[in-house]
Structure 1
Amino acid sequence: MEDTTEGIPLQGSGEADVLGALGRKLEGDLSFSGERILGSMCTLPHPTSAKVYEHYLDRNIGDPGLHPRLQQLERETIGMLGRLLGSRSAEGAIVTGGTEANLIALWAAKRKHREKRKVVLPESAHFSFDKAADIMDLDLCKIPVEDDGRVDLKRYLEAIDDKTMVLVAVAGTTGLGAVDPITEISDAATAWKLPLHVDAAFGGFVLPFLAEAGYTAPAFDFSLPGVSSITIDPHKMGRCAIPAGAIVFRNHDAAVASETEVSYLAGGKTRQRTIVGTRSGASVASIWATLHRLGRKGYVETVATCMENSCYLYDRLRSMSGVDAVIEPQMNVVGFSPTKHRRIDPDELARRLRGRGWALSLFPGFLRITVMPHVSRKMLDAFLHDLEEIIA
């Protein structure tokens, strides 16, 4: 094949040549079908999700005049997600992921409270809120978290004032899977008449199924009256093809705040509630199909298996000499670090593990494993064997 470092090649190549060259360029990248990814909050898509995604690659839900039935499918999908999250009147949109969903939530809040700029949120909040603040010129008031990974509630409540535009809480922090005290924050949102956005990008497909799987499930969703919007990512524990995110508003009044009118599309005047215009219809179809394929029972079984493996990993780490587990897992997320007297810090430990092929996430002071559906007990045993050898 022709060298393309200077631009698009003059002549095209055969499909076999192109696929072969592409495979060679990407050789060595990790995939979820292997047995080494322990740090990602995504996973191998369910086969039905992948099949449906491929079938509807040409659909653009950003132009609903071309695909009115796809638009209706999106409404049904948001309806299913809304009922999962405790609302029968939910509205929203399928988006690229948690980052876009969080941006839309803050955008909607800003359009309702244009004279205000303050956002109260935990230090554990996703980096997408920093992006949103930069784009919309917002002031982030970040509140420290406790040892259990939850925001310091007293300091959080003290930070709310007349300048506050929106409150943010997290249901499944990126670092430890912790769930903020959302019941109390919801009460504050109601008292101050402020919108409360819950980032449940990860926890949204875990928390609703924990009780049926035999675990404690803290309140986080629209069952709390102060919650106005929720981010949920089907491409995480929802087992859908990437990208697949959703912003879900409690009701119509909350959802319309981010609407923009578009006049030139195939169906005439339309109203969009997302940041991007062109959106993947394949994502919508994939999510709808996966929800129906797995059903509630399938998600309960997925969460139960992941939690069983998480507890197994946590117990093994606690019994291992030279390692400290950070907190007991609240979801299928486990943090650990080398004990302080060891001559190795978390950064060096992560480097040595990567040298053996293991891909973990590194946070200040600890490493994190997300026990996703592709993470098997056999995989964890192999990892623990390597960890023991490195720590010894």
Structure 2
Amino acid sequence: MKTQPLMTLLAAAALAGAAQIGTASAEKIAVDSFGKTPDGADAKLYTLINKNGLRAKICDFGATLVSMEVPDKAGKVADVTHGFDSADGYASAGNPYFGASVGRFGNRIANGVFKLDGKEYTLATNNEPGGIPCHLHGGKVGFNKRMWKAEPDEAKNAIAFTYVSPDREEGYPGTLTTKVTYTLTEANELKWEVEAKTDAPTVLNIVHHSYWNLSGDPTTLINDHILTLNADKYLPTNAGLIPTGKQDPVAGTPMDFTKPTAIGERVDAKFEALKLGGGYDHAWVLKPGNGIKLAARLKDPKSGRVMEISTDKPAVQFYGGNFLDGTVAGKKGVKYAFRTACCLETENFPDAPNQPGFPTAVLKPGETYKHVMIHKFSAE
């Protein structure tokens, strides 16, 4: 079935959205209060809207995507992300990184230890899958729990967030200056772009960590979502979900999403990787290509919503919401249950600082780290 033009599909939705936002418009970036952070700072919520009625709400606490409202094939607009109604939810211990800009190092580092230029650095071990401790998503107080300086750009329909991480914050060497920019385009793309510079050699893997349920109903499972990954290899792990260093072919296994496949079709198969991860929670190695390339395509067959993700990074972590357990109360008090959302995080390889066969995660003074991740929405 051909994708329907959203301009035609969503005329009514765009008008309805304009009515709901009051004085806000596609030319004006609305700024609202979003509560206080644990240290008493006032968090702000910025709203980007395009002419087709898409709406992205982003908070300066964690440079976090709080919601993404997109239309279905009938033009009905709904939020398709998990999250919270105020900043205190994102600051809570129970927040599983909903919508966050994660750093310094997204994903896992074995034992919370790495060596750089002959010196060993020790990080927090704040995660222990399989009872094996590791460092996860930047530590106890990562980038997702820091206040960022916001700079709206109405001409570009964008917001840039800047955070300066001091030397040895969470154990990482070097003072790192990071800029995350969200842009909502008239082509229905939400762009998340990162640039970072350091004054001393360091390691980093800054990633975006939204939880998606394209149905618009956060109580439904994502097992019926159809996923395609532009990857013919994945990284097998040990029991602690740390890559072994191998790159295994997906062909003939439940890890094969080279063709559109329902997420739940093989999630409970008797396969070692799925057993260790409690389902899908692995890095897929994207097929080689220059520049920004397609990484994943996700479709909800009922609503018709489609999200395509493109990136300049070598891998995508597909996580099927295996650790959601219904204990976290999110937007409007909804308790997010097991596998009611999935994450598709473009990234460098997990544990790259400890594995010389992986793409380097080292950033040196004078260099600029860059990461581009584009979410393109449509309906069919």
Which structure: greater strand fraction?
2
The structure showing larger relative contact order (alpha-carbon pairs under 8 Å, at least 6 residues apart) is 1
Which structure: greater helix fraction?
1
Task: Note whether the superposition's TM-score is higher than 0.5.
Answer: no
Q: Higher Cα Rg: structure 1 or 2?
A: 1
- Bin for the TM-score computed over the shorter chain: under 0.3
Provide the TM-score with structure 2 as the length reference. 0.25
